[in-house]
Amino acid sequence: MTSRELKNDVYDAIAGITKAFSNPNRLEILDLLSNGEKSVEEVAAQTAISFANASQHLQVLKSARLVRLRKEGNKVIYTLANPKVLAAWQAMKQLAEAVEPGIGLTLRQYRRARQTDQSISLSALDQTRYLLLDVRPAGEYDYGHLPGALSIPVDELELRLTELPKGKTIVAYCRGAYCTMADAAVLLLRAKGYNAVRLAESPVDSASAA
Segment (H or E) for 57: helix 51-63
**In 10 A of CB 52, how many CB atoms?**
10
Q: What share of the chain is helix, strand, coil (3-state, %, to 5)?
A: 55, 15, 30
Domain ranges of the chain: 3-85, 115-204
Q: Hey, is 200 helix, strand or coil?
A: coil
Q: What is the pLDDT of residue 30?
A: 97
**Distances from the Cα of 167 to the Cα of 42, 130, 131, 197, angstroms:** 36, 9, 10, 14
Q: Are 66 and 80 in contact (CB under 8 A)?
A: yes
CATH of 115-204, one of 3.40.250.10, 3.40.47.10, 3.50.50.60, 3.40.50.10440: 3.40.250.10
Confirm or reject CATH 1.20.1050.90 for domain 3-85, answering yes or no.
Answer: no
pLDDT at 206: 61
- pTM comes to 0.89
Quick one: average pLDDT of 83-100?
95
Q: DSSP readout, 93-159? A: HHHHHHH-HHHHHHHHHHHHHHT---EE-GGG--TTTEEEEE-S-HHHHHH---TT-EE--GGGGGG
Looking at residue 24, what is its pLDDT?
A: 96
pLDDT of 198 higher than 80: yes
pLDDT digits (tens, 9 = 90+) for 19-55: 999 999 999 999 999 999 999 999 999 999 999 999 9
Q: Per-residue pLDDT for 85 more than 70?
A: yes
Helix (H, G, I), strand (E, B) or coil at 167: coil
CB 87 within 8 A of CB 80: no
- The amino acid occupying position 159 is L
In sequence order, the 6+-apart residues with CB closer than 8 A to the CB of 188 are 154, 157, 158
Among 170, 174, 181, 189, the active-site one is 174
To the query of whether residue 179 is one of the catalytic residues in this protein, the response is no
- Tens of pLDDT, residue by residue over 70-79, are 999 999 999 9
Residue 182 has pLDDT above 80, yes or no: yes
